[in-house]
Amino acid sequence: MNPQDRGRRRVEMSFGRSGGLWTGIAAALSAIAVIVLAVLFSALFLGLFVAIAVGVAVRAWLLGRSTPSRPDVIEAEYTVIDTDRSERPPKT
């Protein structure tokens, strides 16, 4: 191992550990704050989406109740008139 390799190895090993105890504490507190904020914002957006979904579902349910159950069906009485077609010759 030549001296240049040892120098690189030392830099690689000490990378990320510079700054001391207070830098590590600040980094840990920052990481905790970021995680807490991420959880809070995701819960906020999840609650917002659930509230919107519940509102849309209730609105659709109320609209479904106000319309008739079978709008394409018209109930009526009818009479069948049978005409005597014996005067015509049968079709061949």
Residue 8 vs residue 71, higher pLDDT? 71
Residue 49 vs residue 86, higher pLDDT? 49
> Residue 78's pLDDT band (boundaries 50, 70, 90)?
confident
Provide the pLDDT for residue 10.
52
Q: For 23-63, how does the pLDDT look when each residue is reduced to its tens digit (9 = 90+)?
A: 888 889 999 999 999 999 999 999 999 999 999 999 988 88
Provide the pLDDT for residue 4.
58
Domain ranges of the chain: 3-66
DSSP string, the chain: --HHHHHHHHHHHHTT-TTHHHHHHHHHHHHHHHHHHHHHHHHHHHHHHHHHHHHHHHHHHHHHHHS-S-TT-------------TTSPPP-
The pTM score is 0.45
What percentage of the chain has pLDDT greater than the value 90? 35
